[in-house]
Chains A and B, each alone.
Chain A
Amino acid sequence: MMAIESVYSHRSQGAEVPKNISPPHTHSRGFYMSQKKFGFLTQDELKRYNRQIILQGWGDDAQLRIRESTVFIAGVGGLGSAASLYLAAAGAGTLRICDDGEVELSNLNRQIIHSNESQGTKKVFSAAERISNVNPHVHTVSLDRRIDDRSISDLVADSDIIVDCMDNFDTRYILNRYAAQRGIPMVHAGIFGMAGQITFIESPATPCLQCIFPEAPPPEVFPVVGATVGVIGSLEALEVLKYLTGTGELLKSRLLLFEGDIMKFEELPLEKNPSCAVCGGR
């Protein structure tokens, strides 16, 4: 296995480490890890997560599944800021955050996980610090690496789900290929200006990303209003939480388009492409 040189594993000192943690589980593959026994929530956790635990269909079991989960966050820019902060606040057990960029002044209108003081530092370290402030129970693995065909296996590792927070389709296609090969679900999202799109991919049950978008749109410097990535990144976190807990109805085979300038959502049905280069319409 290729060594990951820039891994930084973070759990805040003083955080109450849950006991009775089961060994790392394999990907849940739709049964939501329901057959596993995860021990008990601590008093601190019961209080911290009370407002979601009391949600109908959630309860202690769902919260424990979130605590036992490992989520791969591909990119901690705009989408990754919102997605990882809400997943951290919701009690995700391990967040594997991956980004090889540094925090720049021009990021700060939308990348709310980073602060003015974190300019010039690596995004993954800035993000890990913020996550630990939001919720010290979360185990953060900072991956200061570029995602490519060689590194992706080590980077994703035993993650239960991939959250696509990238800003380009080339890397998204790498994520998509790996997810399709390994049967790992992936939440895809993108933004532009005041618009966004999101879908839940679980190939072969759903169209893969390349079924939906066979060709990458040309790279560009995209305008973006910070609140837009807040909306779409939050929806990504919600899809992850629904998947992990087995609650609600996932955005499978549906593309949700958000047009914030006129405040409309549009849902498009999606179909697999029988001649898809990745999943071949399996």
Chain B
Amino acid sequence: MKVSIKYLVSVRDKTGKREEELDFPDGAMLKNVSNWLQDSYGLKLPDPALMSTLNGRGWNQYPEKMSTRLHDGDRICIFSPISGG
């Protein structure tokens, strides 16, 4: 199944790209994405300094947390909250 990931603001500096589409096997969960991100970019998620959303909701808002199952077409977004003013 296809899952799209966007890396925004300073996260883009770590990945070197703004978005990509990944192929995960059926039954994959958020922790599989997390492992892939750590292996590929050294991004360790969840991270309190980063905002990670799945289809607009924070990862930690899903009751199953990192065991939340993914579906074809899911959209993940990772960015750093901005605090300056």
* B-binding residues in A (CB < 8 A): 75, 77-80, 164-169, 189-192, 195-197, 212-220, 222, 224, 229, 257, 259, 262, 264, 266, 268-271, 273-275
Known: A273-B61, A274-B61. Contact between A220 and B83, CB under 8 A?
A: yes
Docked Cα-Cα span, A119 to B34, in Å, equals 48
Q: Are B49 and A192 in contact (CB under 8 A)?
A: no
Which of A190, A195, A264, A268 touches B85 (beta carbons < 8 Å)?
A190
Q: Which A residues lie within 8 Å of B61 (CB)?
A: 271, 273-275
Instruction: In the complex, identify which listed stretch (B3-11, B22-30, B37-45) lies at the interface while the others stay far away.
Output: B3-11
Number of B interface residues in the complex (CB < 8 A): 24
Give Cα distance in the complex from A278 to B83, angstroms: 19
Set of chain B residues within 8 Å of A166, measured between Cβ atoms: 85
Q: What is the CB-to-nearest-CB distance from A254 to chain B, in angstroms, rounded to a whole number?
A: 9
* CA–CA, A275 and B61, complex, Å: 8
- Measured CA separation A275–B80 after assembly (Å): 22
Known: A192-B10, A273-B61. A219 touches B83 (CB 8 A): yes
- In the complex, chain B residues whose CB is within 8 Å of the CB of A80: 85
When distances are taken between beta carbons in the complex, the residues of chain A under 8 Å from B6 are 266
CB <8 Å contact, A270 and B8 = no
A215 to B6, CA, bound (A): 21
10 A-B residue pairings within 8 Å (CB atoms):
A166-B85, A191-B84, A191-B85, A195-B10, A197-B81, A214-B58, A218-B49, A259-B12, A266-B8, A269-B55
The answer to whether B9 touches A215 (Cβ under 8 A) is no
Residues of B within 8 A of A259 (CB): 8-9, 12
Known pairs A213-B51, A266-B8, A273-B61; A190 contacts B56 (CB<8 A): no
Given contact pairs A191-B85, A192-B9, A215-B48, A268 touches B77 in the complex (Cβ within 8 A): yes
Report which of A197, A262, A275 forms a contact with B82, defined as CB distance below 8 A: A197
Nearest first, the 9 A-B pairs at minimum CB distance are: A269-B56, A222-B84, A167-B85, A190-B82, A215-B48, A192-B82, A271-B57, A195-B9, A79-B85
Cα distance A243–B35 in the bound complex, in angstroms: 43
Whole-angstrom CA separation of A213 from B50 in the bound complex? 9
From B8, B51, B83, A222 is in contact (CB under 8 Å) with B83
Q: Please tell me if B60 contacts chain A, counting CB pairs below 8 Å.
A: yes
Bound CA–CA A195/B61 (angstroms):
26
Q: B56 near A270 (CB under 8 angstroms)?
A: yes
- CB pair A169–B83 under 8 Å, yes or no, is yes
Residues on the A chain within 8 Å of B77, using CB: 266, 268
Q: Which residues of B contact A164 (CB under 8 A)?
A: 85
* Most chain A beta-carbon contacts within 10 A, residue among B53, B79, B81, B85: B85
Given contacts A195-B9, A271-B57, A273-B61, contact A217 B81 (CB under 8 A): yes
B69 within 8 A of A: no
Contact of B49 among A77, A217, A262 (CB under 8 A): A217
B49 neighbours in A (Cβ, 8 Å):
217-218
Contacts of B83 in A (CB 8 A): 167-169, 190, 192, 216-217, 219-220, 222
Indicate whether B14 reaches chain A with its CB closer than 8 angstroms. Answer: no
Set of chain A residues within 8 Å of B81, measured between Cβ atoms: 169, 190, 197, 213, 217
A274 cross-chain contacts in B, Cβ below 8 A = 61
A219 CA to B83 CA, complexed, in Å: 8
